[in-house]
Homo-oligomer: A and B are copies of this chain.
Amino acid sequence: MNVRDAATRSGLPPKTVRYYDDIGLVVPDRRGNGYRDYDNRAVQKLAFLKRARQLGFSIDDCRQLLSLYEDNERASADVKALAETHLEEIDRRLEELQHLRETLKHLVHACRGDDRPDCPILADLSGDK
């Protein structure tokens, strides 16, 4: 199956599918004319990647997940460890964002937002205590 079909079925843009070939994530067979030829297995892997990326796993994470996915001898503990590490990262990022949100909300609330130059947001940014 050609790249466009593989893309459609996996839900990824064709450009991305080619990119995943380039970086060796999902490497399809090639036909005599040089066209990529994807089988169902490859499409499955592409769909797997789409989902994993949506869940915020990095390409590097995906590489590991994919090899675990392919490995019938794998231990589920390996997968779980990867997911847990990722979860911790998400928690860190969430905390940062929440903190940021509070600060910003506070500043926005404090700013009168009229046509005068007086602005607590800029005052804060400038390091004013």
Chain A residues in the interface with B (C-beta under 8 A): 44, 47-48, 51-52, 55-56, 65, 68-69, 71-77, 79-81, 83-84, 86-87, 90-91, 93-94, 97-98, 100-101, 103-105, 107-108, 111-119, 121-122, 124-127
Contact = CB atoms under 8 A, between A and B. Distances in A.
Given A47-B126, A117-B73, A84 B108 contact: yes
A103 B68 contact: no
Contact of A51 (B84, B90, B125): B125
A108 B76 CA distance: 10
* Copies of this chain in its oligomeric complex: 2
Contacts of A93: 97
A55 B106 CA distance: 12
